Amino acid sequence: MHLSSPSRWPVSVLILLSLLGLGRAEELFSTGSTWRYFKGTGEPSTPDPTTWRTPGFSDSGWLQGPAAFYYGDPFTGTEITDMRNSYTTLFLRRTFQVGNPSDFRTLTLRAACDDGFIAWINGVEVVRFNVPAGELAFTGTASGAVSPDPAVFNDYPITNPASVLRTGANLIAVQVFNANLTSSDLVFDGSLGGRSIERLRSSPPCSQPQASPCGNCIPSRSSSASP
Ligand SMILES: [Ca+2]
């Protein structure tokens, strides 16, 4: 059966998708994206070690490269060749654009990580994987070695997307932790995306004249106003 564009689906179908938590998939950034990164030989921001997670922090002096950030396992991207026996953490930052935060019914960080990480969006912690509770310094470590090894991609759902996303530029910050200084490997790569529902217009003008009443007309995305 041929499925037409969601912009042409009846309103009843879109409402059903909304109730089911489904809708249009929207990727905010992909795996292999470019990030700014800072090697954990010291705190990335002082005197407040949390400032680096916030949008206003300047990371212009940080290194830059594509994910995955890794050593010791068969990934591609940015190899961190001096980490083993030297430092246990890596700090990552990147910006992404959001048209309308309230459009997102779900938001998921999909990540592969060895051995643990904490992620913040616009300074708000959204995911914590395989690390202890509380604030962790640049000398912190993961709770243990990750399994399976090499690491695989897992989904980390983020609750209440509209409360953490902003219209326009958004900042995601990630602190990656190795299990210990002598660990043979490390990796982090991730993508961010969610499900959004097509915008509905209450009194739509139909783009094409129709014989029947067009109370359920939905404008195509190309012809609708920008959010
Ligand atoms: Ca490791």
Nearest alpha carbon to residue 124 among 176, 55, 47: 55
Distance 68 CA to ligand 1 centre (A): 14
What is the average pLDDT across 31-59?
98
- Neighbouring CB atoms inside 10 A of 207's CB total 12
Class of domain 23-196: mainly beta
Question: Would you give the DSSP letter of residue 211?
Answer: S
- Band (222; pLDDT cuts 50, 70, 90): very low
Q: Whole-structure pTM over 0.85, yes or no?
A: no
Domain ranges (residues) in the chain: 23-196
Q: Is 46 exposed, middle or buried (0-12, 13-18, 19+ CB in 10 A)?
A: exposed
Distance 93 CA to ligand 1 centre (A): 21
Distance 186 CA to ligand 1 centre (A): 5
Distance 130 CA to ligand 1 centre (A): 12
Nearest alpha carbon to residue 159 among 197, 123, 106: 106
How many angstroms separate the Cα of 93 from the Cα of each of 41, 96, 204? 17, 10, 41
Q: What is the pLDDT of residues 118-174, one digit of tens each?
A: 999 999 999 999 999 999 999 999 999 999 999 999 999 999 999 999 999 999 999
pLDDT at 221 over 50: no
Distance 77 CA to ligand 1 centre (A): 17
